[in-house]
Structure 1
Amino acid sequence: MDLRDKLALVTGGGDGIGREIALQLQAAGANVIVTGRSAEKLQAMAGLGFGTIAGDLSTGAGVDAVVNGVAGKPLALLVNNAGVGAMDYAVDDATTLAIAETCLHTNLDAPIALCTRLLPTLKAQGEAAIVNVTSGLAIAPCGSGAVYCATKAGLRAYTQALRYVLKDSNVRIIEALPPVVATNMTARRDGKKMTAHDCAAEIVRGIRAGKTEINVGMVKILQLVHSISPALARQIMIKF
């Protein structure tokens, strides 16, 4: 995809992977709008030349704000990157269900809603794409993040089905599957992490190269293991 002068929308673009994707899309010549919940972070992005839309994608009002914010604009690239973890969700504690609901709304409901509501605009462009950022955990889940893994697996299935439905359209459907990346979400997790800059670089290269599935970093190895033995991939990742 030629990104020059394309209008792109990056959800969760105020920090982490989203911020790096936005910066690298901008460097490739795209005009970029970012969304987020933090007024301070959005102000910082505006200072770097980005359009901004404030919206909490765990709510219907937040989705409405994003859709209304790009209404009438020639949107050609939608990057559904915004996501939250559910690290404090306890599978046997009903008082933590609100955490699960926030994760479900942000990671799964919002991307589906944005795809559905923005597809007419994307179809009106000569060349367009949707990038749904899932996770290596969409391939094989880990025991420490049941709800998070479920949202990413759900988004992966939705993305694959949407790609088939739109196979004859001008809108390319892309899935990006990052590994563990050094962001605020993973700050409590030990171990080796990919930088957000390097993760975003692989995603943007994949967009430009016309890929439909972008396996980032160590996810390439996970995909290989899964292709040989899905059971082995699950056995490895469930303890992660």
Structure 2
Amino acid sequence: MELHGKLALVTGGSDGIGREIALQLQAAGAEVVVTGRSPEKLAGMRALGFETIAGDLSEPAGIDAVVAGVAGRPLALLVNNAGVGSDYELDEPATLDSAAQCIRTNLDAPIALCTRLLPILRAQPAAAIVNVTSGLAIAPRAGGSIYCATKAGLRAYTQAIRHLLRDSNVAVIEALPPVVETNMTAGRAGKKMSAHDCAAEIVRGIRTGKREVNAGAVKLLQLVNSVSPALARRIMIKY
């Protein structure tokens, strides 16, 4: 997909992977709108020349604000990147609120935005949807059950709508990051991919028309999974 002159929307675009995607799309000549929840981070993006939309995508009002912000405009690229973790504990009913917020942000919101913005995307000569899932959509880890479930659900949804849109002008791309150095993973040890490098692989995938972008270590996970899904699950469940 040629990015120069295209209007792109990046959810969760004021921090982490989303911020890097937005910066690299901007460098490629795209006009980029970013969404986020932090007024300070959104102000920082405006200072860099981005249009911003404030909104919590776990709430209907946040989704409405995003849709209204691009209504009537030639949106050609939707990047569903916004995501949150969950404090869910299996034996703690009090953590169900955190689980629900994770589900609404990571799964419900991308589905809503794909559905509501599809007419605009269809109206363009060429368009693309990028749903950012995770290597954990392939095989889950026990310590992040709700997060893994949302990403696995988004992976299944992405594969299904890709088939439904196979004869249209709208390409559907899934991006699967590994563990990336972001605020969400700040407390985790081990090797992490930089947000810049992860975003570079995703943007390269958009430009070259990949259906699936396996970033960093996810390439190895996909290889293991192709040989033995059971082995991939055994490795990742304790990761």
Q: Same fold (TM over 0.5)?
A: yes
Mapping for residues 32-71 of structure 1, pairs under 5 Å: 32-71=32-71
Structure 1 partner of 2:164? 165
Q: Does the residue aligned with 2:34 lie in a helix, a strand or coil?
A: strand
State how far apart, in whole Å, the 2-side matches of 1:147 and 1:92 are: 14
State how far apart, in whole Å, the 2-side matches of 1:196 and 1:220 are: 17
State how far apart, in whole Å, the 2-side matches of 1:189 and 1:33 are: 30
1:123-145 CA distances to partner (integer Å, 9 max, x unpaired)? Answer: 00001000000000000000100
RMSD: 0.4
State how far apart, in whole Å, the 1-side matches of 2:101 and 2:5 are: 34
Q: Does the alignment pair 1:141 with 2:135?
A: no
State how far apart, in whole Å, the 1-side matches of 2:188 and 2:149 are: 19
1:26-83 CA distances to partner (integer Å, 9 max, x unpaired)? Answer: 0001000000000111111011010100010010110001001111110000000000
C-alpha deviation, 1:89, in angstroms: 1.2
Q: Which amino acid aligns with 1:141?
A: P
Length-normalised TM-score, structure 1: 0.99
State how far apart, in whole Å, the 1-side matches of 2:124 and 2:90 are: 44
State how far apart, in whole Å, the 2-side matches of 1:178 and 1:91 are: 26
1:134-186 CA distances to partner (integer Å, 9 max, x unpaired)? Answer: 00000000010000000000000000000000000000000000000000000
Mapping for residues 201-216 of structure 1, pairs under 5 Å: 201-216=200-215
State how far apart, in whole Å, the 1-side matches of 2:157 and 2:90 are: 25
State how far apart, in whole Å, the 2-side matches of 1:196 and 1:229 are: 29
Structure 1 partner of 2:83? 83
**Number of aligned residue pairs:** 239
Structure 1 unpaired stretches of 5+: none
Q: Does the residue aligned with 1:144 lie in a helix, a strand or coil?
A: helix
Give 4+ residue runs of structure 1 displaced > 6 Å after superposition: none
Report the identity percentage: 76
Q: Does the residue aligned with 2:142 lie in a helix, a strand or coil?
A: coil
C-alpha deviation, 1:11, in angstroms: 0.1
